[in-house]
């Protein structure tokens, strides 16, 4: 039985990785990025979606290619510049030794600010975990916001040697890191932006904002209920809607003016086949907890109770994400009556 559970865990992990890469493929579509920039980045709020997608976004976004770690960011960028193809699909580029074992930026691209024509470096991160405080290897947790600060800082520091040399700090380009989170605080959709601001503690000397407004951090939280926000509705359709791939493709075209390529449609199909809202992470965790608890207690009752608790935890998370009761029952392998009771107890229906 333990071997069966561990095999299930491995299969769920493989599915989660496939989902992750497919999601990044769809998100890197320029019109999708245009919606994100127009809604969250001040420099683009007055520009049209078509202009953002076709004029201001430079080149082709890099998906899971450039590592975050010190001394590796620019090494991979230079390797990319030597290749004929501007975009590399997949987790690594051809020079595997450079990025092996590294954390990489999810989607990295550059765009020109419409008014100043200045280049801005942006990264889009898809945070699919069910917790806003992911676990470290030690088992402790850390706040995602601090990780976002680190990513933005790396985008700044890695400019030395590419955007400027020696002490030419006036050539530093502005950066944004944008995080799309599948969990929302208190279950409500939200968009938060963090940036450097000037404060006058004595008298009023005003420094030009372009000298310090160089880093922006944005969090987009997808909640459980419908809101009148075009970006939230777009991301909800892509990540949380129970519609099948064909229905999503039609809605993207009709409601958002987004036409996917054949490859991007394939990515969307992968996302739909593996399950809405990336449920695999929760399912895998539930199975692992059940197996671990049963093994430690050394009796069948412990294993079954542990697995049941894991399933209930998973089911509750999916209910909070707004998934239909029938689908929650299907994915958690609990009866519909139990799911209904769980929803009632937590005031979700």
Q: What is the pTM of this model?
A: 0.67
Q: What is the pLDDT of residue 327?
A: 81
* pLDDT exceeds cutoff 60 at 331: yes
Question: What would the pLDDT profile of 210-233 be if each residue is shown by its tens digit?
Answer: 999 999 999 999 988 889 999 999
User: For 43, left (φ over 0), alpha (ψ -120 to 50), or beta?
Assistant: alpha
Asked which of 29-33, 101-105, 123-127 is least confident by mean pLDDT, the reply is 101-105
Paired with 303 in beta bridges are none
Spatial separation of the C-alpha atoms in residues 269 and 103, rounded to whole Å? 26
Provide the CB-side half-sphere exposure for 173 (13 A, CA). Answer: 23
Question: What would the pLDDT profile of 279-321 be if each residue is shown by its tens digit?
Answer: 444 444 454 555 555 555 554 555 555 567 777 878 887 787 7
Q: What is the pLDDT of residue 18?
A: 72
Question: What would the pLDDT profile of 25-58 be if each residue is shown by its tens digit?
Answer: 888 899 999 999 999 999 999 999 999 999 999 8
Spatial separation of the C-alpha atoms in residues 136 and 294, rounded to whole Å? 24
Provide the CB-side half-sphere exposure for 312 (13 A, CA). Answer: 14
Paired with 52 in beta bridges are none
Q: Which residue has the higher pLDDT, 319 or 246?
A: 246
Report residue 92's pLDDT band, with 50, 70 and 90 as the boundaries. very low
Spatial separation of the C-alpha atoms in residues 215 and 192, rounded to whole Å? 14
Report residue 82's pLDDT band, with 50, 70 and 90 as the boundaries. very low
- Ranges of each domain in the chain: 19-64+105-260, 280-345
Report residue 326's pLDDT band, with 50, 70 and 90 as the boundaries. confident
């Amino acid at each position: 039985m333990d071997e069966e559970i561990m095999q299930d865990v491995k299969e769920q992990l493989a599915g989660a990785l496939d989902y992750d890469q497919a999601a990044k493929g769809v998100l890197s579509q320029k019109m999708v990025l245009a919606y994100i920039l127009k809604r969250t980045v001040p420099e683009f709020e007055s520009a049209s979606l078509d202009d953002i997608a076709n004029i201001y976004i430079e080149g082709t976004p890099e998906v899971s290619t450039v590592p975050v770690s010190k001394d590796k960011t620019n090494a991979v960028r230079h390797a990319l510049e030597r290749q004929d193809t501007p975009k590399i699909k997949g987790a690594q580029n051809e020079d595997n030794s450079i990025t092996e074992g590294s954390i990489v930026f999810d989607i990295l691209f550059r765009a020109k600010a419409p008014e100043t024509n200045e280049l801005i470096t942006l990264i889009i991160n898809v945070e699919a975990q069910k917790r806003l405080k992911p676990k470290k290897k030690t088992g402790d947790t850390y706040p995602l916001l601090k990780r976002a600060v680190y990513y933005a800082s790396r985008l700044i520091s890695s400019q030395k040697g590419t955007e400027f040399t020696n002490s030419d700090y006036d050539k530093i380009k502005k950066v944004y890191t944008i995080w799309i989170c599948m969990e929302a605080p208190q279950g409500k959709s939200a968009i938060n932006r963090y940036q450097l601001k000037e404060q006058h503690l004595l008298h009023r000397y005003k420094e030009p904002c372009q000298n310090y407004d160089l880093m922006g951090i944005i969090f987009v939280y997808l909640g459980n209920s419908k809101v009148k926000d075009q970006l939230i509705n777009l991301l909800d359709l892509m990540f949380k809607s129970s519609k099948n791939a064909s229905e999503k493709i039609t809605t993207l075209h009709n409601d958002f003016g987004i036409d996917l390529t054949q490859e991007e449609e394939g990515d969307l199909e992968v996302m739909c086949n593996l399950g809405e809202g990336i449920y695999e992470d929760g399912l895998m965790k539930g199975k692992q907890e059940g197996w671990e608890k049963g093994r430690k207690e050394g009796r069948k009752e412990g294993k079954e109770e542990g697995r049941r608790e894991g399933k209930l935890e998973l089911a509750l998370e999916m209910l909070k994400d707004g998934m239909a009761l029938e689908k929650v029952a299907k994915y958690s392998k609990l009866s519909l009556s139990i799911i209904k009771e769980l929803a009632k107890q937590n005031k979700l229906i």
